[in-house]
Amino acid sequence: MDYTEKKLSSREIYNGRIIRVHVDEVELADGSRSCREIVDHHGGVAVLPVDAEGYAYCVRQYRYAYGQSLLEVPAGKLEPGERPEDCALRELSEETGYEAERLVPLGWLYPSPGYCSEVLYLFLATGLRPGRAHLDPGEFLDVERHSLSELEEMILRDEIHDAKTVTAVWRAGRYLAGEEASGCRAEC
């Protein structure tokens, strides 16, 4: 069924550095009216770098919204006009120092579709060459190296909660398992 909601009016509440908030009056599918509180965000990129030995590099950083440090895949906001692939390589290099020969797209994610319009593009990065991290001013994080299966176990033990990290770990694991299987088939 078509339950499209029609915008009747929009009131901007806040236009900040990383989010814009507006409240829209909408007409619902049955003709009644309601309002939608919406958080807009430029969109972002998350990139899981996996080396030739199957180890992934994640970052542990303090997240003020939760008052705790979280383990996450390297990620960052899209600059205006920036392609997700370029943003992925830039953030990877800034946060971990690694350059990547190859980016594999792992789809995109809607973090909280009830009130947020952010789109997060996910990538797997392989063919890694070490380099020097160069964090933005005010950015503090530690890089951690874990095998993909270790990250999967951490998710299943409820030690990793970040949505983009869960999705990237799962999809990267599936992609690499498929590659390995097809390589094995080609050899046999």
Provide the binding-site residues for a second copy, judged by CB under 8 A. 1, 3-5, 13-14, 16-19, 21, 23-24, 26, 28-30, 32, 34-39, 41, 44, 61-66, 69-70, 72, 77, 107-118, 120, 137-138, 140-142, 155-156, 158, 161-164, 166-167, 170-171, 174
Least Cβ distance, residue 7 to a second copy (angstroms): 8
Q: What token pair was written down for 156?
A: 């299943």
Tokens 């020097």, residue located: 132
Least Cβ distance, residue 187 to a second copy (angstroms): 24
Nearer to a second copy, 36 or 146 (CB): 36
Distance CA 148, CA 170 (A): 9
Instruction: Return the half-sphere exposure (C-beta side, CA atoms, 13 A cut-off) of residue 31.
Output: 0
Burial of 24: CB neighbours in 10 Å, binned 0-12, 13-18, 19+: middle
Least Cβ distance, residue 9 to a second copy (angstroms): 13
Tokens 């990267």, residue located: 172
Nearer to a second copy, 117 or 146 (CB): 117
Least Cβ distance, residue 148 to a second copy (angstroms): 14
Torsion sign over Cα 100, 105, 107, 108: positive
Burial of 87: CB neighbours in 10 Å, binned 0-12, 13-18, 19+: buried
Nearer to a second copy, 32 or 52 (CB): 32
Least Cβ distance, residue 102 to a second copy (angstroms): 19
Nearer to a second copy, 129 or 174 (CB): 174
Q: What token pair was written down for 128?
A: 């890694």
Nearer to a second copy, 3 or 52 (CB): 3
